[in-house]
Amino acid sequence: MLLPILGIGQIKSASLQASGLTCSMCSNSIYKSLKTISFIEEVDSDVETSTFNIKFKTNQEVDLDALQKAVEKAGFSVASLKFVMNVNNLKVQNQQKTEIGDKTFYFVNIKDKVLDGDVEFRIVDKDFISPKEFKKLKSRLEPSGDKRIYNVTF
């Protein structure tokens, strides 16, 4: 079942944690790769936690898969990707699809509720979490067909 759009907003920022880094040069490689993405305004990195805080340009479409591909292009993988989106009166239900803007999200392990304001979502798709965590969640996730579906929680 696909729920209607009740409120949408732009993805404002993201926090990406990478895995496989061993030194500051690794972090620098991911930083440079992320900075090449046109819709990114700013990237701040924390070498100790392998985390990259990303701010997106206003009124630009954000491609969440491009973030994962940039990390992979630098030779690493994503351990976690959280993003903040401003929503207005958005009703979400566990194990239901919801369209927000031009993206489809499938909510996993949540309580049904109405979201309002800045909300942090976490992508739980295969290339956005650890293999161990993916194995635990795999049976509850919605596979993408012709249209990309992001499995998320908060």
pTM of the model: 0.91
List, in sequence order, every residue forming a beta bridge with 2; answer none if it has no partner.
Answer: 97
The domain spanning residue 26 has which CATH number? 3.30.70.100
In a domain, 139, yes or no: yes
**Tens digit of pLDDT per residue, the chain (154 long)?**
444 444 456 899 999 999 999 888 999 999 999 999 999 999 999 989 999 999 999 989 999 999 999 999 999 999 999 999 999 999 999 999 999 888 999 999 999 999 999 999 999 999 999 999 999 999 999 988 889 999 999 9
The number of domains in the chain is 1
**Residue indicated by tokens 């729920």:** 3
Nearest in space to 71 (alpha carbons), one of 41, 42, 105, 37: 37
| Dist. CA 130–CA 79, nearest whole Å | 5
| Dist. CA 154–CA 149, nearest whole Å | 16
In a domain, 43, yes or no: yes
In a domain, 80, yes or no: yes
In a domain, 98, yes or no: no
